Structure 1
Amino acid sequence: MALKIKEQDNVFMISGTINATTVNYFKNHLEFLMLYTNALTINIECVISIDNNGLKAIEELYTMALANKKTFKILGYGHKGIYDELRINQAA
């Protein structure tokens, strides 16, 4: 399934699949948004699947936000692997 990103009340709704095919679009779009905002909130509730490429992209976006002192939030009952991955890396 294709990846869609749309904005709703300052939250970027992500739907579809984040994988090797869609990860560049996902990362480039969110990096661009992060450049022009102080905070970026994404909702992953409609993400059907995410592979290691997608997890790595989210981790890189999170790291970029921290380095630039920006807020990066992930909402939704999406994939527990995302939260686990960020928690492990944050503790390290």
Structure 2
Amino acid sequence: MALGILEQNGTFELQGSLTTGTTRSFIIHFEHIINTVKNVTVNIDKVNTIDASGVDALKTLIAIALRSNNVFSVVGNGCKDIYDDYRSAVGA
């Protein structure tokens, strides 16, 4: 399944799957946005699938924003997979 990105009131809403097949274009797209907008917010409420590559993509964009002294925030409930991956990464 594809990944859709809609901008609404300054928040970018992701829809679909953030997986190996979509992460490269996702990173390229948001790297450009991070370089032009100081504060980027991504809502993952409508992400139905995310794999390790998708989680790594979010981490990559956070790191890119930090290097640029910008902010990249992830909000929303999204799919359970992202929280399971985060918990395992921090040892919770």
Please, what TM-score do these two structures have when normalized by structure 1?
0.85
**% identical equivalent positions:** 33
AA of the residue aligned to 2:22:
T
Give the corresponding residue for 2:7.
7
Misfit runs of 4+, over 3 Å: 79-83
Unaligned runs of 5+ in 1: none
User: Does residue 28 in structure 1 map to residue 28 in structure 2?
Assistant: yes
The DSSP-based 3-state class of the residue aligned with 2:20 is coil
Report what 1:40 is aligned to. Answer: 40
Normalised by the size of structure 2, how large is the TM-score?
0.85
Measured after TM superposition, the shift of residue 71 of structure 1 is 1.1
Q: Is this contact kept in 1: 2:51–2:81, CA < 8 A?
A: no
Q: Which residue identity does 1:27 align to in structure 2?
A: I
Displacement of 1:82 in angstroms is 3.8
Aligned residues: 87
Over the aligned positions, Cα root-mean-square deviation in angstroms equals 1.7
- The amino acid that maps onto 2:7 is E
Give a deviation string over 1:39-72, Cα, whole Å, max 9, x none: 1100000000111111111101011111111111
